[in-house]
């Protein structure tokens, strides 16, 4: 393991511990704190614990108790407040966009709607919110009419991200559909494979090449004992397909991350293999999904690379967290 990787993992471990101390009453605070630590790391920043506490207090004071901004997605909102120059302005802006979306979709309150609001706000602020919401709604309806069974609430953040930045989402949507048809038999989870297909659509490779990359990565995970539930690891495996490196080398490095984390407080035996593998893979992704080492579809500008990387991390983590919350609420483990 090189010094840069060790430093990144040490930072995530330390930040997770400090952040968790501010999340005493949160649902599964270890997972929430880890999510926040990864968001700080993906932004190239160490966690500012005092600012996090300040932002959290401000959110609770200014956002209604039943708002989804205080639900599962609150950690993302608070962390992004921390990373913004003016957290009061940031929260006001995101909440304004979220309320505009909720006025249209009165029965749809979810973490994905919050993430859509974040993407729309960050693209052009409140000033361009109405314009970007109109584009978002138009494209989402078109996608729903073309791909009814594939398009759902979980797609809102991806659609909002692309449409608010004037990216040809229809071209990507067709590629998502092709990737899904080619890869859907790799897992029983339709939701996981749709997420996989969205991520694969960002690559300029042929559909067959992308599916082969995904298979090669999953085979390498098995070969190097990167353990976990296949359907939960599939999306991060798809993200690794954007990195220009041999699958065996990727899996070897991820296994090194896995072994190192297993010896760190908060990531030891009591953490599931799936989560440890997921975190180890995301750490690899943060370090390697850079402009010079990443292949992205020609419709994605170089300037959006870091935003896309962050979106992939959030997408994977929020899906995992949502599954966890559903499991806990039904008495699952």
Helix (H, G, I), strand (E, B) or coil at 243: strand
The whole-angstrom separation of Cα 17 and Cα 21 is 7
- The pLDDT, as a whole number, for residue 65 is 82
- Region of 305 please: left (phi>0), alpha (psi -120 to 50) or beta: alpha
Largest Cα–Cα distance of the chain, in whole Å?
A: 51
Torsion of the alpha carbons at 273, 112, 218 and 188, rounded to the nearest 10:
90
Residue 31 has pLDDT above 80, yes or no: yes
Beta bridge partners, 243, equal 294
pLDDT for 25 beyond 90: no
| Nearest alpha carbon to residue 76 among 320, 318, 305, 324 | 318
As a whole number of angstroms, the distance between CA 197 and CA 191 comes to 10
Torsion of CA 58, 309, 137, 156, to 10 degrees: -70
Round to whole Å and give the CA distance between 37 and 3: 19
pLDDT tens-digit profile of 257-295? 999 999 999 999 888 899 999 999 999 988 888 766 677
The pLDDT, as a whole number, for residue 323 is 56
- The percent of residues above 70 in pLDDT, for the chain, comes to 90
pTM (two decimals): 0.88
74 within 8 A of 118, measured Cβ to Cβ: no
- Euclidean distance between CA atoms 309 and 305, whole angstroms: 6
Q: Per residue in 154-187, pLDDT tens?
A: 889 888 988 888 888 878 888 888 999 999 999 9
Nearest CA among 32, 76, 24 for reference residue 55:
76
Query: Contact at 8 Å (CB) between 311 and 157?
Result: yes
pLDDT 10s digits, 35-76: 899 999 988 999 999 999 999 999 999 998 888 888 778 899
| Mean pLDDT over the full length of the chain | 87
Residue with tokens 């030891």: 268
Name the residue among 154, 164, 153 with its Cα closest to residue 196: 154
Rounded to whole angstroms, the Cα distance separating 279 from 150 reads: 27
Strand partners, 328: none
| 274's tokens | 């799936």
Give the burial class of 174: count Cβ atoms within 10 A of its Cβ; 0-12 exposed, 13-18 middle, 19 or more buried: middle
What are the pLDDT digits (tens) for 137-159? Answer: 998 888 888 777 778 888 898 88
Q: What is the 3-state secondary structure (H, E, C) of 80-98?
A: HHHHCCCHHHHHHHHHHHH
């Amino acid at each position: 393991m090189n010094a840069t990787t060790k430093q990144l993992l040490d930072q995530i471990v330390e930040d997770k511990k400090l952040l968790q101390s501010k999340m005493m009453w949160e649902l599964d605070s270890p997972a929430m704190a880890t999510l926040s630590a990864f968001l700080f790391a993906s932004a190239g920043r160490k966690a500012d614990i005092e600012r996090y506490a300040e932002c959290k207090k401000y959110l609770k004071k200014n956002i209604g108790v039943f708002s989804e901004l205080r639900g599962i997605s609150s950690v993302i909102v608070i962390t992004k407040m921390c990373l913004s120059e003016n957290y009061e302005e940031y929260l006001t802006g995101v909440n304004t966009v979220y309320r505009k979306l909720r006025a249209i979709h009165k029965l749809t309150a979810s973490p994905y709607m919050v993430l859509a609001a974040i993407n729309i706000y960050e693209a052009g602020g409140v000033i361009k919110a109405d314009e970007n919401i109109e584009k978002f709604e138009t494209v989402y309806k078109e996608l729903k009419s073309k791909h009814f069974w594939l398009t759902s609430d979980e797609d809102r953040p991806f659609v909002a991200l692309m449409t608010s930045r004037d990216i040809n989402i229809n071209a990507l949507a067709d590629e998502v559909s092709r990737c899904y048809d080619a890869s859907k038999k790799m897992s029983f989870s339709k939701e996981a494979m749709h997420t996989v297909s969205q991520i694969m659509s960002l690559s300029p490779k042929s559909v067959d090449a992308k599916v082969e990359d995904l298979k090669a990565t999953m085979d390498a995970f098995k070969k190097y004992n990167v353990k976990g539930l296949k359907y939960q690891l599939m999306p991060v495996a798809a993200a690794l397909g954007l990195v220009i490196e041999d699958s065996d080398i990727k899996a070897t490095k991820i296994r090194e991350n896995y072994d190192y984390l297993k010896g760190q407080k908060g990531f030891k035996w009591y953490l599931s293999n799936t989560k440890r593998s997921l975190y180890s893979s995301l750490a690899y992704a943060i370090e390697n999904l850079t402009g010079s080492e990443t292949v992205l579809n020609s419709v994605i500008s170089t300037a959006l690379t870091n935003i896309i990387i962050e979106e992939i991390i959030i997408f994977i983590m929020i899906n995992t967290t949502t599954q966890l919350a559903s499991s806990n609420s039904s008495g699952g483990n």
